[in-house]
Amino acid sequence: MKKLIGIVLTVALVLSMGLALTACAGGGSQDLKVGLECGYAPYNWTQTDDSNGAVKIQGTNEYAGGYDVEIAKLIAKGLNKNLVIVKTAWDGLVPAVKTGVIDAIIAGMSPIPSRREEIGFTDSYYKNDIILGIVVKKGSKYEGAKSLADFAGAKITGQLGTFHFDVIDQIQGAAKQEAMKDFPAMRVAVESGIIDGYVSEKPEGESAMRANPNYYFVEFPQGQGFTISEDFSTIAIGLKKGSDQMVKDINKILAGISDDQRKQMMDTAVMNQPAQQ
């Protein structure tokens, strides 16, 4: 009997070691923890239910939806992992992935050189010719602006830690305001008159107008708007440096998503965003 018990214990130990090794080989946890700010519609936003395929935000009773979430769902499915959405402030995303708090950043982030110095990136999951403009209040004197010069004296801001805030310096005479933490806060500031406008890309500007008729996205004629680098024309998934195999695996999944499918997902995200966003 003692011999039999010994054999059973030995087999159990071998099996447990095998499971541990399998877990290590598969990258450990079966969760894919994705960080995003849940406040950058149509890329990502916060809502109160799971309508339109939204995913519950870890540790809350809220849900995240948007283009980034749809991409994250495809990535998690392709990796055979359970998607976990971790709501993270924009300026906390890079530190979070570097320290392992999250596994990936899928948050409308451009892989610019300064970020590549800190983290790794996959291939692009969204690319467009960036159209940068300014979201203002509908009916304000800035609604009819045709050039940056028309914003001389205007109180303008942008999101903290983004090139949107940096390019305000190109507006001669603008009253550059303190950077704000997220887009919902900037939208409220515009509607309340605290600021005259905030710098944004066209998808977010169109999203703002669709969500609330009190907003207007000022798009400038060619040569009359902001000058920006091509580095900002793509959006990619951020990963911890050294995650070479994960980069390859995700790139393979991204390669299977057609341009038409990506466009359809973005169009759907613009339509589905909650009004409060």
Q: What is the dihedral of CA 40, 43, 48, 49, to 10 degrees?
A: 180
User: CATH class for domain 29-128+233-272?
Assistant: alpha beta
What fold characterizes domain 132-227? D-Maltodextrin-Binding Protein; domain 2 (3.40.190)
pTM exceeding 0.85: no
Residue 26: pLDDT over 60 = no
Mean per-residue pLDDT, 242-253: 97
Domain with CATH 3.40.190.10 in the chain: 29-128+233-272, 132-227
- Residue 12's pLDDT band, with cuts at 50, 70 and 90, is very low
pLDDT of residue 152: 97
Q: What is the pLDDT of residues 198-213, one digit of tens each?
A: 999 998 999 899 889 9
Helix orientation angle between 67-79 and 244-255, rounded to the nearest 10 degrees: 110
Q: What is the pLDDT of residues 144-196, one digit of tens each?
A: 999 999 999 999 999 998 999 999 999 999 999 999 999 999 999 999 999 99
Question: Is the separation of the CB atoms in 226 and 132 below 8 Å?
Answer: yes
**Structure tokens that stand for 185 in this block:** 């806060």
- Residue 143's pLDDT band, with cuts at 50, 70 and 90, is very high
pLDDT of residue 276: 59
Annotate 147-166 with b (16+ C-beta within 10 A) or e (fewer): ebebbeebbbbbbbbbbbbe
**Structure tokens that stand for 102 in this block:** 């999250």
Q: What is the pLDDT of residues 58-79, one digit of tens each?
A: 999 999 999 999 999 999 999 9
